[in-house]
Amino acid sequence: MKGNEALRVAEGEGDRLDRELKRLPDRCAPASLIPRVLAAIRERERLPWYRRPFTGWPGPMRLVVLAGLVGLLGVATWALVEVVWGWNWGERFPEWAGCATVVRAVWSAADSLAGALVVVVRQAGGWVLGASLLLAGTMYLSCVGLGTAAFRLATAVNGRWDHEKHA
């Protein structure tokens, strides 16, 4: 059977299946469903504000957190610019001058490693970069898969995954 013939047969079966399913009576929800849903809603409402999703936090607290994060990002950016471009950070904060030296050394080492990586890729060709990205992607997906399996194993009840508990 060729691909087009199989598709025509599948379409015909789909129509027949659709008719049969429409003939079936509607299923009723179990009587315990509504009380369980309402109990879950009440349980979520009883959580303290800091245990709820960020969008459910009180408005002023969200503003405080966002302002703090923006401030932290600003300080980190300012410090990085000061260290990388060698502005007189040590003169402004002499007690932190040693930290600036360490950050400069790390930055210089990272810059040297990046330069060496560029030379290796240019010499070996693009296949090295492609193979490296493929390996990194495979490793990432392996970690995600193993993490998911470990989580399900750790939270299993009597050897079975409880869909209602982890929905």
Mean pLDDT, residues 114-132 taken together: 82
Query: Where do the structural domains in the chain lie, given as residue ranges?
Result: 126-167
Buried (b) or exposed (e) across 65-91, using 16+ Cβ within 10 A? eeeeeeeeeeeeeebeebbeeeeebbe
Residue with tokens 């379409």: 11
Please write the tens of the pLDDT for every residue from 77-94. Answer: 887 776 666 666 556 666
Structure tokens at 10: 């599948």
Please write the tens of the pLDDT for every residue from 94-122. Answer: 666 666 677 778 888 988 998 888 888 78
The predicted pLDDT at position 38 comes to: 93
The predicted pLDDT at position 112 comes to: 92
Contact 139/132 with Cβ under 8 angstroms? no
Look at residue 27 and give its three-state secondary structure.
Answer: coil
Q: Which conformational region is residue 82 in: left (phi greater than 0), alpha (psi within -120 to 50 degrees), or beta?
A: alpha
Residue with tokens 């990002």: 73
Q: Give, in order, the Cα–Cα distances in Å from 52 to each of 56, 58, 70, 71.
A: 6, 10, 22, 24
Single-letter residue type at 7: L
Please write the tens of the pLDDT for every residue from 59-68. Answer: 999 999 999 9
The predicted pLDDT at position 70 comes to: 94
Q: Give, in order, the Cα–Cα distances in Å from 22 to each of 25, 26, 29.
A: 8, 9, 18
Entry pTM: 0.35
Please write the tens of the pLDDT for every residue from 29-51. Answer: 888 999 999 999 999 889 898 88
Contact 85/77 with Cβ under 8 angstroms? no
Q: Which helix (H) or strand (E) holds 96?
A: none
The predicted pLDDT at position 80 comes to: 75
